[in-house]
Structure 1
């Protein structure tokens, strides 16, 4: 079974003015990668509750983050041939992705779709319990973009098997 490419974004918060701080991918072969995003000067929104979840400080982003343009080019390099990636939080992730590409001054060479489009009713029914079981089994660190993307991919794979869709 070929696994779908999953994209996950961690952000400065959830409300108006929030922006992407980390973008991660889980590729069809199961490998992952993620990049911290250096905040632009006008990106000032910061929600301490979000930082408690992902554990990434604004200072760390300023020191270790990659420029917006570089992250956008990396995403295009990774995803142009596939043409598509999936997200479990399409509404949020798509708006943060649009913001990233807008400020990078370029267009995405792929589209982001809702992961839900790929799931059968059987998978949907098993999703939450399967995902939590995988977190416990594998000791996955939640709310980091690369790990979360891989968790979604593994959950997709296991729910297909359990639902008899494989």
Structure 2
């Protein structure tokens, strides 16, 4: 069974940034993602981040879901597995905490670092395998669901012995 991978895209990279999209690669390999409507007090916006993920503030206003809906969705998605993994635990955990705080909810799951699942051999070949997967799978980078799937496929391929 594959680990559930969670990824977050954000308004920027530093202080004041907030989550704008959260995505999952489920244990069965399917992916899903939701855009997040920024709360009123979430005003930080980094144009460089927008260039990476390609999501505009206007699109978030039009297509995003309220933070409470996204938090509820995540809790529903992860209630059975109870754990998801992230390759950027420090950032993703901070952004999830901010989202759940503004939703007035607690997460019903734990977010762990993906590194906890990797042995030394996987760590040593991770970057090369990730590049191979990118070439083979035609994944669109810097979108939460696609990045989560990229990590999941990299985990799978890196765990296979030659």
Report the TM-score when normalising by structure 1. 0.96
1:161 positional shift: 0.2
Q: What SS does the corresponding residue of 1:86 show, helix, strand or coil?
A: strand
Q: How does 1:10-159 map to 2 (within 5 A)?
A: 10-159=9-158
Which residue in 2 is equivalent to 1:4? 3
Q: Secondary structure at the match of 1:108?
A: coil
Task: Name stretches of at least 5 consecutive residues in structure 1 with no aligned partner.
Answer: none
SS of 1:45's equivalent?
A: coil
Q: 4+ runs of 1 displaced by more than 3 Å?
A: none
- For residues 3 and 55 of structure 2, the distance between their equivalents in structure 1, rounded to whole angstroms, comes to 27
Supply the distance in 2 between the matched residues of 1:161 and 1:147 (Cα, whole angstroms): 21
Q: Distance in 2 between matches of 1:157 and 1:82?
A: 18
Q: Any gaps of 5 or more consecutive residues in structure 2?
A: none
Q: 1:119 deviation in Å?
A: 0.1
Q: CA deviation at 1:105?
A: 0.1
Q: Secondary structure at 2:21's aligned position in 1?
A: strand
The alpha carbon displacement at 1:111 in A equals: 0.4
CA distance in 1 between counterparts of 2:36 and 2:20 reads 5
Q: Which whole-Å CA distance do the structure 2 matches of 1:144 and 1:135 have between them?
A: 13
Q: CA deviation at 1:116?
A: 0.1
How far is the alpha carbon of 1:137 from its aligned partner? 1.3
Post-superposition Cα deviations, 1:23-70, rounded to whole Å, max 9, x if no partner, equal 000000000000000011110000000000000001100110000000
Write out per-residue CA displacement over residues 106-145 of structure 1, whole angstroms, 9 at most, x where no aligned residue.
Answer: 0000000000000000000110011011111111100000
